[in-house]
A and B are shown apart, each in its own frame.
Chain A
Amino acid sequence: GEEVAQTPKHLVRGEGQKAKLYCAPIKGHSYVFWYQQVLKNEFKFLISFQNENVFDETGMPKERFSAKCLPNSPCSLEIQATKLEDSAVYFCASSQSQGTGTEAFFGQGTRLTVV
């Protein structure tokens, strides 16, 4: 597609439940990035992929968070046993290539509310 598509737009989960977010990158883009934005403030980098391979996972919490980008499927970010502090907007971005100054295109985000 011509834009990064994220689903669902809103997700409400009770504490301890699983949450799964999806991202379809722009067609032809090899790189996918996930960011977490809490309370309209800074964007925290979580993880990036080059095609289906993890490229950089330095921001990924070691527990409860996992992500995949499989061929011919939307990328996904899964949070096991959600906590209140996981409430945030999760943004996905894609870029055509890796390298200095490659523009990243962002989706509209998934707002996760943990109650």
Chain B
Amino acid sequence: SQQGEEDPQALSIQEGENATMNCSYKTSINNLQWYRQNSGRGLVHLILIRSNEREKHSGRLRVTLDTSKKSSSLLITASRAADTASYFCATEMNSGYSTLTFGKGTMLLVSP
């Protein structure tokens, strides 16, 4: 079964607005990563947050992690049309294998 579950499944906003996506998972993790997938293309790594971190920033991205609630959020500020893509969270568990377990993704549409 999938470790990560994102919500919402789809999000439609206007350029300049902020977009927030959430991810919940079930088991203990080493880290949680967010990836972006443009239509028909491969995954692009956005940001990684370790289990002992609570918040991380990268440009217009802000990621939070709450291990007590087993959840994470990805905030994209001042969104642009180019941010239109599917966003996936992926967890690396304490298995020693570095295998990533992905959620089902959030499809973000940013309209000009």
Q: Of the candidates B33, B88, B92, B99, which one forms a contact with A48 in the assembled complex, judged by CB atoms under 8 Å apart?
A: B99
In this complex, the interface size class of chain B, counting residues with CB under 8 Å from chain A, is 20 to 34
Do most interface residues of chain B lie in helix, strand or loop, or is the interface mixed?
strand
What 1/0 flags go to A21-43 for Cβ under 8 Å of B? 00000000001010100001111
| Segment at the B interface, from A12-20, A74-82, A94-102 | A94-102
| Segment at the A interface, from B15-23, B57-65, B71-79, B102-110 | B102-110
Considering the complex, which residues of chain A in the window 96-115 have a beta carbon less than 8 Å from any beta carbon of chain B?
98-109
Q: Of the candidates B30, B98, B101, which one forms a contact with A95 in the assembled complex, judged by CB atoms under 8 Å apart?
A: B98
Considering the complex, which residues of chain A in the window 40-68 have a beta carbon less than 8 Å from any beta carbon of chain B?
40-43, 45, 48, 55-56, 58-59
From B5, which residue of chain A is reached at the shortest CB distance? Answer: A42
Chain A residues near B50 (CB, 8 Å)? Answer: 100-101
Beyond A43-B88, A91-B42, A109-B42, is A102–B98 a contact (Cβ under 8 Å)? yes
**In angstroms, how far is the closest chain B Cβ from the Cβ of A92?**
9
Give the distance in Å from the alpha carbon of A31 to the alpha carbon of B103 in the complex: 22
What 1/0 flags go to B75-105 for Cβ under 8 Å of A? 0000000000010101010010111111111
Chain B residues near A106 (CB, 8 Å)? Answer: 35, 42-44
Do most interface residues of chain A lie in helix, strand or loop, or is the interface mixed?
loop
Count the A residues whose beta carbon is within 8 Å of the partner chain — how many?
29
Q: Rank and list the top 6 A-B pairs by shortest CB-CB distance, nearest first.
A: A43-B102, A106-B42, A106-B43, A56-B97, A100-B30, A108-B42
Identify the B interface with A (CB < 8 A): 2, 30-31, 33, 35, 41-45, 48, 50, 86, 88, 90, 92, 95, 97-105
12 further A-B contacts with Cβ under 8 Å, apart from A33-B99, A103-B48, are A33-B100, A42-B88, A42-B104, A43-B90, A56-B97, A56-B99, A58-B99, A93-B43, A100-B50, A100-B98, A106-B35, A109-B42
